[in-house]
Amino acid sequence: MSTIATIPKIRDALRATFRSGLTHSIPWRQHQLYQLARMAQNERELICDALQKDLGKPKTEVLANELGSVIKRALKSAERLPEWVKAEHPEVIDRQKPWNPTIYKAPKGTVLIISPWNFPMMLSFQPLTGAIAAGCTVVLKPSELVPTFSQLLEEIVPKYLDPNAYRVVNGAIPETTKLLELQWDHIFYTGNGKVARIVASAAAKHLTPMTLELGGKSPVIIDSAYDIDLAAKRILWGKCHNAGQICVAPDYVLVQRDKQDELVRAFQKHYNAFFPKGALDSLSFGSIVSDSHYKRLTSLLSRTKGETVLKGRADAARKRLELTIVKDVAGGDSLLEEELFGPILPIVPVDSLDQAVDFVNARSHPLVLYAFSDNESVKQRLVSQTHSGGIVFNDTFQQLAVSELPFTGVGESGYGYQFMKYTYDTFTQLRSSIDMPKEAEANLAVRYLPHSEEAVKALTSAVYTPIPPSRL
């Protein structure tokens, strides 16, 4: 059990391990990745039980969306690691080829990962997988809002991963504050913008590089020509994961005004199909993480000026809240104030695609923009005229299954890349190198003082490079 007093000692021990060179071995890194996969596989029942206790999270959801992803990406990373670590030799002009220009891949060092409560298994071990692959030593700080799970990690991680290289530090604000007082070679934070500013300010004192994965209000735009029933089904499926408590959950829907009621009917139809007896007691629907989050969500609902068209039942004692859908939501409504991060779905009617685009662009850049359209010109317009971490057409949530795509935010939704090689790259320093041969000395003579007129002409020739005409 770590304490505030022991946190600096833990960091120093990990730094000593890194300097020893233990983590530089590729077979050693692969073994740690295999061990990570074994931990997720062997301890799955304990992990599922912990997340059920902390979050009411359905077992199938944990197995499919958290444990499965961790195992798959750990194994793929181990398999591809020998290729990732190879030094690269960029294409250069002929006279520079004898210099052997090289890009070496070096681990950044000792890093800090601060993970959130909503998908605690995946969002703890997704960045850890990349850090292991890169050859870093790591402190993992899981969320205090999932105490059963976080305590479990402190118990099982040392059984599988080398404790000289990887440590779990539990605690709340005091422990996190102490961690942030220390210098790290990279900090990877997943959470909300308010805390991210605190983390970024602490990192700035040491000029520590960071990755921030922050979420935000991810909108859905529905083209009026698209199949409304299918759009509703796919949006609802994405919204119901972890009771809407995920950074890529559809946050609000923009739909043509004359299609709004059709969309509402489709939502009602598919909700009844997903949860014939409602979601309040369903084992397939998660709970709200804490009393404070529950009160925040019910407060937002109490202040909306929109019309509730699917009213979810609530059980405060169990922190259970069914999906609530609200139509005719206008700008400035309580449901548009902040990222909802819960089972609430506002519908914002618009009169045109132009209005939908303007509505999205008038707000902070989202983590993902969802759009339902079969029209290629509409798709390309959204790609070129909006700004978001990712853009997904004709589905929700499923983009997370594609490990080869970079996952990132922009602006208020965060920065930095992750998933597979992108996570490896996050924790890797690219070291540029040349190795000048003695035989190049004749060609280098022109650089030495004093400079003759011919030498000056050669050294400044780039200034006089012909510039082609623009073709606008």
Radius of gyration, alpha carbons of the chain? 26
User: Which residues contact residue 372 at a Cβ distance below 8 angstroms, ignoring those fewer than 6 apart?
Assistant: 220, 221, 222, 223, 226, 230, 231, 234, 235, 393, 394
> Is-cis flag, bond preceding 450, omega within 30?
yes
Question: How far is the C-alpha of 73 from the C-alpha of 82, rounded, in Å?
Answer: 15
Q: Which residues are catalytic?
A: 213, 247
Whole-number Cα distances in Å, 82 to 76, 79, 87, 105, 318:
11, 7, 10, 11, 48
- Using an 8 Å Cβ cutoff, are 422 and 390 in contact? no
Tokens of 324: 């609530």
Per the DSSP assignment, residues forming a β-bridge with 429 are: 106
- Using an 8 Å Cβ cutoff, are 271 and 310 in contact? yes
Q: What are the phi and psi torsion angles at 182 (to 5°)?
A: -85, 160
Question: How far is the C-alpha of 34 from the C-alpha of 41, rounded, in Å?
Answer: 10
Q: Which residues of 379-418 are buried (b: 16+ CB within 10 A; e: fewer)?
A: bebbeeebebbbbbbbebbebbeebeebbbbbbbbbbbbb
- Using an 8 Å Cβ cutoff, are 393 and 379 in contact? yes
